[in-house]
Amino acid sequence: MPQSVRVSPLLISAFLALYLIWGSTYLVIRIGVESWPPLMMAGVRFLIAGCLMYGFLRYRGVPAPTWREWKAAFVIGFLLLACGNGGVTLAEHAGVASGVAALAVATMPLFTLLFGLFWGNRTTNLEWAGIVLGLIGIGLLNLGSNLQASPYGAALVLFAAASWAFGSVLSKHMPLPKGPMASAAEMITAGATLLIGSALSGERLAHMPTAAGCGGLGRAAVSGGVWLYRRVQRVYVPAQERAPGSRNQLCLRQPGSGGDAWRGVCGRDNRY
């Protein structure tokens, strides 16, 4: 018989933060890549966020990760942030509108279910229904939006969704650092990886970023990185232990949720 789960106000607030704040991060990225090369922006964003969190935790006396934990953090950071978020950043730089990104990234729960089968995870009918309703809802939210995208951009977003899903499932089986240090280590390693990729691909700043571009980078690094990434792990992910499968719904916190609301607030048109 399914176990009942008490929904706390803290969990509800975490859901609202995911939809409004993290969803808006993708609009911020869309604005930022107009001034920054995509891999460079993503790398600087996560390196700043990771170093700030790491320095604060070390100041508070949290032990540094072991070499084994650093390696695990590199693997998960590479999948979640370098491939997942980095792929979306590249796609938005290629002109993919947030409506297309929303529809593509909404496939993430499906990837999560498929990857979960490798570890014997079972999916309930209620979870299937939730995923189908989520996909329909994302589609309805984007009716009338700009849904044009190149095959390259659409493939990038699908790759990003699959990478994030696989990293989410794999993270439960990796020797990651305990507590918030895992988030810091993942962001540091992912940021360094993205900057190496930026250098190898020949990215260069053609001109000084605009004020909007710099503001977007700072906003994505702080509120979309340090604060919210940790809030997900402290509040939302533990709830998944009480309600198996709820992590699948975490995948629906992508553009098309808070992003649509913030496009209106910022006065941005549908090409975003």
212 found inside a domain: yes
1 found inside a domain: no
75 found inside a domain: yes
For residue 63, what pLDDT is reported?
A: 95
> How many domains does the chain fold into?
1
Q: Reply yes or no on whether the pLDDT at 135 is more than 70.
A: no
Amino acid identity, position 71: K
128 found inside a domain: yes
Is the pLDDT higher at 91 or at 143?
91
3 found inside a domain: no
61 found inside a domain: yes
- Round to whole Å and give the CA distance between 265 and 49: 25
Mean pLDDT, residues 248-271: 42
Q: Token pair of 224, please? A: 């979309």
Mean pLDDT, residues 235-260: 44
Domain limits for position 228 = 9-266
4 found inside a domain: no
Range in 14-28, 158-172, 226-240 the model is least confident about: 226-240
- Band (pLDDT 50/70/90 cuts) for residue 126 is confident
Mean pLDDT, residues 238-249: 44
103 found inside a domain: yes
Q: Reply yes or no on whether the pLDDT at 268 is more than 60.
A: no
What's this model's pTM, rounded to 2 decimal places? 0.73
